[in-house]
Copies of this chain bind each other. A is one copy, B any other.
Amino acid sequence: MPPSLLTPLAAGLPQTVPFVGPEAIERRLGRPFRARLGANESGFGPSPKVLAAIADAAGDSWKYGDPDVFDLRRAVGRHHGVPADNVTIGEGIDGLLGHCVRLFAGQGGTVVTSIGGYPTMNYHIIGFGAQLHAVPYRNDRADLEALLAAAQATAANIVYLANPDNPMAGWWDADTVTAFVDALPPTTLLLLDEAYGELAPPGALPPIDINRPNVLRLRTFSKAYGMAGVRCGYAIGNASLIAPFDRVRNHFGVSSLAQAAALAALADQAFLDIVVARTIAARHRVSAMASAHGLNPLPSATNFVTVDCGRHAAFAKSVLEALADRGVFIRKPMAPGLDRCVRITVGPEAMLDILEAELPAALAAARAMGVP
C-alpha cells in the first residue's frame, strides 16, 4: 500500500456525490428515460437565439473566452441595474457556491443551512473543511428564525438560503427576506440562492441592493433560461464581496460558448416570458395531476412541484422507483420530514403526457408494495 498523497482534509472527505445523474440510472436500467422530470431542468429549452449564438460562437471556440467576461458582466449589470463591477460570472451557481465557501468560510469556518437544503452547498462546506450547521425546515419552508438563531449562536461566516426553495419549491416574500437580512450579524454573509428567481411570483425577490455589505445574490442560466448544460451563473453584490472572486476563480473557466449563449439569452426576454408562462401552466397541470390521485402538491415558485405523498418516506421512494421503472425520472428530498415528498420537475406537454399516463400505474404499484 503506497502512502496516501492526499491532504488530511481530502483524505477525510466522504466518497458521496451531491447527485446521481439520470444518465447513471439509465445505464443501470439499460434504457433511457422517456420523460426527464427530475433535475429541475427546463424542458422548454433555451431560446432559438441562444442556439444560433452557440452555433455562431463554435467557429471561434479555438479562442479562450474573455477572462474578464466583460460583455456579459456588463449585460447582466444592465439587466439588473447595477455596475459590471458588482457582478461576477461563474460556471453555474454550483461553482460560485464553492468559491463562496472558500473565500468567506474556509477551513474551520461555520456555515448555516437547512437540513435537506441544497446538497451541493453541503458538499462545498464539507469539502473546504468548514463546519456545517443545519437547522430543520419548518412547515416545509426554510425556518428563518432558526437560521438566524443558528447564525448568531455560531457566529456563522455564511448563511445559505434558497429563495425560492429547493427542494420544497416554496418561497418567502421579499419583505420577510429583507427583515432576515437586516437581523443578521454584520459578520455573517447571506448567500441568497435565487436559481429559480425568474420563476417566482411578484413580490418574492427583494430589490437588489449592492450597498448591502453582507449579501450575495446568486442567479443562473440553468433553470428558466434552459441552459443547464452550458454552465453559466452569476453573483451580484457589494464590490467588496465581488472583487475577491478574482482571487480564486478560474479566469478562463467560463467558456466562450457560455458567454455567447448567456448574452443571447439575456437579450431575449420575450422568450423567457414565454417559458415562465409555460412553466406556471405546467406547474398547475402537475399539481392537478397529483391532487387527482390523492396526493398533496405544495405551492411552487419554481420549475418543479414538490408533492407530499401523504405517507412515510418509504412510500415516496416507491413512487419514485415505480415511475423510474416506467421511464419517468423524478427525484425526492431525502431529509427527515421532507422525505415523504417527491419532486417533479415540470416540462413541456409531451413529457407531462407521459407522466400522466404512467402515474396511476406507478402509484398503484407503490401502494401495492405495502410500505407504510
Contacts and interface: CB of A to CB of B under 8 A. Distances in A.
Contacts of A17: 67, 246, 251
A333 interface: no
A10 B103 contact: yes
Contacts of A231: 65, 91, 231, 252-253, 255
B64 A39 contact: yes
Contact of A21 (B45, B68, B98): B68
The count of identical subunits is 2
A157 interface: yes
Interface string A128-142: 000000000000000
A61 interface: yes
Contacts of A3: 186-187
A55 interface: yes
A297 interface: no
B14 A247 contact: yes
A5 B247 contact: no
Contacts of A18: 251
A327 interface: no
A65 to B, nearest CB: 5
Contact of A5 (B65, B214, B248): B214
29 contacts: A3-B187, A4-B240, A5-B189, A5-B213, A5-B240, A13-B244, A13-B248, A14-B247, A15-B246, A17-B246, A21-B67, A21-B68, A24-B67, A24-B70, A27-B70, A45-B62, A46-B58, A50-B58, A61-B227, A61-B261, A62-B227, A62-B228, A64-B228, A91-B91, A98-B250, A228-B252, A229-B255, A229-B256, A229-B257
Interface of A: 2-7, 9-10, 13-15, 17-21, 23-24, 27, 36, 39, 41-46, 50-51, 54-55, 57-68, 70, 91-92, 94-95, 98, 102-107, 109, 120, 127, 157, 186-187, 189, 213-214, 222, 226-231, 240-241, 243-244, 246-248, 250-253, 255-258, 261
